């Protein structure tokens, strides 16, 4: 069973390829999701906290723009707290989607295409390892993993990301795309049909990246930033309805 959470389709693409490479109904529990601030997205944590995983080996495949920090430690303690056993843990580098800090933007077309090519090869290797039954930890921790996962991650959602910082600009055409595609159903239409953000934000940034008028903004940070969607976003997101 593959459980997937995905904002712009990167993790859904990995989930899809894994599904194709594993035999039908392969008996493995695999979670696929993006790395958020060197940790597991809160929406995935909440989902797993509601499960009884007794007797299950739980594999994790995360996608990241660059690196994961010590996400494996968080995975281990989360899975064990639900009675499960942490299995193999992998990261796959994919095009970056985080644009809410001054020095961060999406990747160039060339870098994004290269990452997608290399990711496909890595997912094929991951499928082989899972089939072999071997337990492997293969993640790109990056520099200062303890600081990133232990200090920045817990602060990021408490003080860093704030749903109230999302707003629309004068370019908004009230098309409703951000509203209908929000994975948490956290965006509603105001009287003029334009979006209003609630408090149940997954911080996936899908509302920002799907807006064809580039009218969704996060504070002033996204003013000169670009957008990214996985090339197969449309059907991948329908296939892997979030968690």
Ligand X SMILES: Cc1cc2nc3c(=O)[nH]c(=O)nc-3n(C[C@H](O)[C@H](O)[C@H](O)COP(=O)(O)O)c2cc1C
Task: Please give the residue ranges that form the binding site for ligand X (CB under 6 A).
Answer: 6-11, 34-38, 63-67, 94-98, 203-205
Nearest distance from C-beta of residue 167 to ligand X, angstroms? 17
Between 19 and 66, name the residue whose CB sits nearer to ligand X. Answer: 66
Listed in sequence order, the residues at least 6 apart from 126 whose beta carbon sits closer than 8 Å to its beta carbon are: 18, 61, 88, 90, 92, 138
Nearest distance from C-beta of residue 6 to ligand X, angstroms? 3
Nearest distance from C-beta of residue 56 to ligand X, angstroms? 23
Between 85 and 138, name the residue whose CB sits nearer to ligand X. Answer: 138
Between 135 and 221, name the residue whose CB sits nearer to ligand X. Answer: 221
Q: How far is CA 82 from CA 9, 78, 79, in A?
A: 28, 7, 5
Are 228 and 112 within 8 A, CB to CB? Answer: yes
User: What is the secondary structure of 47-107 as a DSSP string?
Assistant: HHHT---TT-EEEEEEEESS--TTHHHHHHHHHHHTT-EEEEEEEEE-------STT--PP
Nearest distance from C-beta of residue 194 to ligand X, angstroms? 23
Q: Residue 187, class by beta-carbon neighbours within 10 Å (0-12 exposed, 13-18 middle, 19+ buried)?
A: buried
Between 137 and 192, name the residue whose CB sits nearer to ligand X. Answer: 137
Between 132 and 200, name the residue whose CB sits nearer to ligand X. Answer: 200
SS3 108: coil
Nearest distance from C-beta of residue 16 to ligand X, angstroms? 11
Between 88 and 96, name the residue whose CB sits nearer to ligand X. Answer: 96
Nearest distance from C-beta of residue 205 to ligand X, angstroms? 4
Instruction: Tokens 């996936």: give the residue.
Output: 204
């Amino acid at each position: 069973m593959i459980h997937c959470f995905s904002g712009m389709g990167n993790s859904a693409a990995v989930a899809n390829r894994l599904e194709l490479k594993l035999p039908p109904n392969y008996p493995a529990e695999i979670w696929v999701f993006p790395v958020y601030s060197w940790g597991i997205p809160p929406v995935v944590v909440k989902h797993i906290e509601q499960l009884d995983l007794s007797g299950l080996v739980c594999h994790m495949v995360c996608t990241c723009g660059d690196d994961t920090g010590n996400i494996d430690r968080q995975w281990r303690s989360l899975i064990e707290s639900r009675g499960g056993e942490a299995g193999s843990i992998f990261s796959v580098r994919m095009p970056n989607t985080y644009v809410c800090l001054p020095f961060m933007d999406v990747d160039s077309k060339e870098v994004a295409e290269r990452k997608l090519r290399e990711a496909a090869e890595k997912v094929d290797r991951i499928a082989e390892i899972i089939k072999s039954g071997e337990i492997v930890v293969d993640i790109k921790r990056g520099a200062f993993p303890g600081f990133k996962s232990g200090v920045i991650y817990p602060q990021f959602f408490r003080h860093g990301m704030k749903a109230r910082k999302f707003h629309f600009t004068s370019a908004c055409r009230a098309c409703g795309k951000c509203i209908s595609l929000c994975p948490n159903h956290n965006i509603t239409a105001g009287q003029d049909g334009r979006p209003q953000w609630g408090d149940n934000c997954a911080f996936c940034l899908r509302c920002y990246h799907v807006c064809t008028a580039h009218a969704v903004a996060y504070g002033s940070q996204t003013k000169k930033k670009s957008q990214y969607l996985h090339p197969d976003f449309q059907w991948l997101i329908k296939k892997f309805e979030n968690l």
